Amino acid sequence: MSGGRKPRITTDDVLQIFLDVDDRCEPFGAPEISDLLSCHRNTARNKLEDLTFMGDLESKQIASGKVYWRPCEQV
């Protein structure tokens, strides 16, 4: 049987992107995360918001978008 549901994206999957870059304080937007994880932007945005709520990421609204980054003091 082929097709079916895509693998579930977790907050750990999203957080790992922030850990894998050279500059761990580098900001990302939901579109970048969704491209890297091959998931819907809403899925990426929801996981980013969850990580922000848990204190793993910080965020800032910029124009019509929002960027997320790992607090530099946690690096």
The parent domain of residue 61 ranges over 11-74
Residue 31 lies in a domain: yes
Q: What is the pLDDT of residues 12-68, one digit of tens each?
A: 999 999 999 998 789 999 999 999 999 999 999 999 999 999 999 999 999 889 999
Q: What gap in Å lies between CA 1 and CA 12, rounded to an integer?
A: 28
Torsion of CA 28, 31, 35, 40, to 10 degrees: 130
Q: What is the pLDDT of residue 1?
A: 43
Q: What is the pLDDT of residue 14?
A: 98
Residue 70 lies in a domain: yes
Q: What is the pLDDT of residue 5?
A: 54
- pTM: predicted TM-score of the whole model, two decimal places: 0.85
Question: What is the domain count for the chain?
Answer: 1
Residue 1 lies in a domain: no
Residue 2 lies in a domain: no
Q: What is the pLDDT of residue 6?
A: 58
71 or 53: which carries more pLDDT confidence? Answer: 53
Q: What is the CATH number of the domain that holds 50?
A: 1.10.10.10
**CA nearest to 32, candidates 73, 68, 75, 70:** 68
Residue 60 lies in a domain: yes
